[in-house]
Structure 1
């Protein structure tokens, strides 16, 4: 979670204060008391709980990935409006969308990377937007009956230049601490659970950043859903940016460009 503040007489990008948190069961946070019952609803409670604790009235959230959800806040003065923006990456985008739908009065904007608008539960997205045969199509590499998924991985493949051995050690140590139980329970095992939302729409400003080389675009129907702007049926005030060389981890691959996109969006919608 990231808090962004700007004093009177200063442009919005002058001051930034960042507050990063791990969802329950991730990173350094404790596991939920009943991990088998964990759901996306818990993550919504986590976001709102952090906002309440910090006295944030309006937030903009951006989850960078399963470990790093962020909230950007612009606080012009002690008496002025607080702008809150949710930013999410990958499955972390879903809690951001969910909070923005059920708590619109607290969200000033939503930024997501790699994932267009979606919510847990099939009923949360209009069925007519999904392509025919969506649940039986497979455009991604999958393990065969006599394989494990790790059999598809070549262990000799070098790390990309934007991801170092030190980065890998940090991720590994965090998963050694938290384990994979919650990571598998939320989002994967609860993805189909009905979240109880009948009118999934976000009216706050939105920004979707996609890499042209993101493997997520191979998911059946996702590229068409995004490029045809069908996604704007749910987020009418959405801006979509495709980064030519970007992959699924564009925030690590091209951090300076992504940061500039975020700052530009925040400045535009914090006045």
Structure 2
């Protein structure tokens, strides 16, 4: 990772941490999910740079080494759109491919809808087209003990996480979220209780990786991260007829628990998602889980570079 350089840029009065490698006019901007961070894209950044692209990943506001907004409890997904465009402007990038994972897909979709002139293509992992308030997931059908429902409650995740150090929280979430079943706690449990402390990390996620994640979240804590995405998912983004005409690629792991979300698998497999993204290619990876870009980096890199090369001008 020595070739990845780090700096801060100022967007909307906040200093955002940016990681970058590669040079040239063709840019790829990577957008992380939770509990991920810029580092989640380490494999893809190096591969994109080697293929001749300028690869950038940044920590969203309130994550990792980026500053918190002054009032984290008022943060919204709209702020992430500001971050994406602001980072591009600061780096002198007029147009880029956007690559989003988990909730990081939402600002990628949002930017592509409202700023289509800035987007060369949209690649997402684990999440088909959706926006805050515009989603194929039938939230009302989710069990009340599902982690998203729990973490939407102000203070609940904070109390749950607060029983452990940050390293244990990150370890537990990675172990839990790489499974193929929904993470549902009973009435007498919290989400952290679902992980047996003796369970090892997945083989593709090392103790060194955990150390990097832990140090970044020890710096930022979880205050803004719990607000965006979890407590703003249902907010209406104000877009009534969203459509993305740019080329798109959706990579779904067959063993990703997200496929168990009510409505999501049918929406994806029936290709109804193409009503919003008519130029979308969908690829299912047989062994892929929710962290497919870290679990199977070489396969994901090949799909990514093939798409980038196909749609670069």
The gaps in structure 2 that reach 5 residues or longer are 1-40, 42-52, 150-179
Q: Deviation above 3 Å: which 4+ runs of structure 1?
A: 122-139
CA distance change for structure 1 residues 115 and 51 in 2, over 3 Å: closer, same or farther?
same
- Distance apart, 1:107 and its partner CA: 0.7
Please tell me whether the aligned partners of residues 145 and 184 of structure 2 are also in contact (alpha carbons under 8 angstroms).
Answer: no
Contact 2:106 2:132 in 1 (8 A): yes
Question: Which runs of no fewer than 5 residues in structure 1 stay unpaired?
Answer: 1-14, 59-83
CA 262–129 in structure 1, closer or farther in 2 if over 3 Å, else same = farther
C-alpha deviations, 1:188-232, integer Å up to 9, x for none?
001111111011111100000011111111111111110000100
Cα deviation, 1:49-86, whole Å, max 9, x if unaligned, reads 0111122111xxxxxxxxxxxxxxxxxxxxxxxxx100
Following the alignment from structure 1 to structure 2, what is the Cα–Cα distance between the partners of residues 238 and 199? 17
Answer yes or no: is the 8 Å Cα contact 1:23–1:43 preserved in 2.
yes
What CA distance in whole angstroms lies between the structure 2 residues aligned with 1:99 and 1:202? 10
Pair 134,222 (structure 1): closer, same or farther in 2 beyond 3 Å: farther
Cα distance, 1:128 vs structure 2? 14
Cα distance per residue 1:213-267 (max 9 Å; x no partner):
1111111111111000010010000000011111111101111111111110011
Within a 5 Å distance, the mapping from 1:84-123 to structure 2 comes to 84-122=96-134
Taking structure 1 as reference, are residues 122 and 129 closer, same or farther at Cα in structure 2, changes over 3 Å only? farther
Q: What is the aligned-residue RMSD (CA, Å)?
A: 3.5
Equivalence for 1:22: 59
So what's the TM-score if we normalise by structure 1? 0.79
Alignment TM-score, normalising by the size of structure 2: 0.68
Given the superposition, is the C-alpha separation of residues 124 and 104 from structure 1 closer, same or farther in structure 2, using an over 3 Å criterion? Answer: farther
| Structure 1 position 155, deviation (Å) | 1.0
Distance 1:236 1:132, change over 3 A: farther
Q: In structure 1, the residue corresponding to 2:104 is in which secondary structure?
A: helix
Matches within 5 A, 1:39-188: 39-58=76-95, 84-122=96-134, 140-188=182-230
- The answer to whether 1:243 aligns with 2:255 is no
Whether the aligned pair in 1 keeps the contact of 2:146 and 2:185 (CA below 8 Å) is no
Query: Deviation digits for residues 1-50 of structure 1, max 9, x if unmatched?
Result: xxxxxxxxxxxxxx933222111101100000111110001000000001
Which structure has more helix as a fraction of its residues? 2
1:236 match: secondary structure: coil
User: What's the CA shift for 1:141?
Assistant: 3.8
Q: 1:162 to 1:111 in 2, by over 3 A?
A: same
Residues 1:192 and 1:173: Cα distance change in structure 2 (over 3 Å): same
Cα 1:249–1:127, aligned 2, differ >3 Å: closer, same or farther?
A: closer
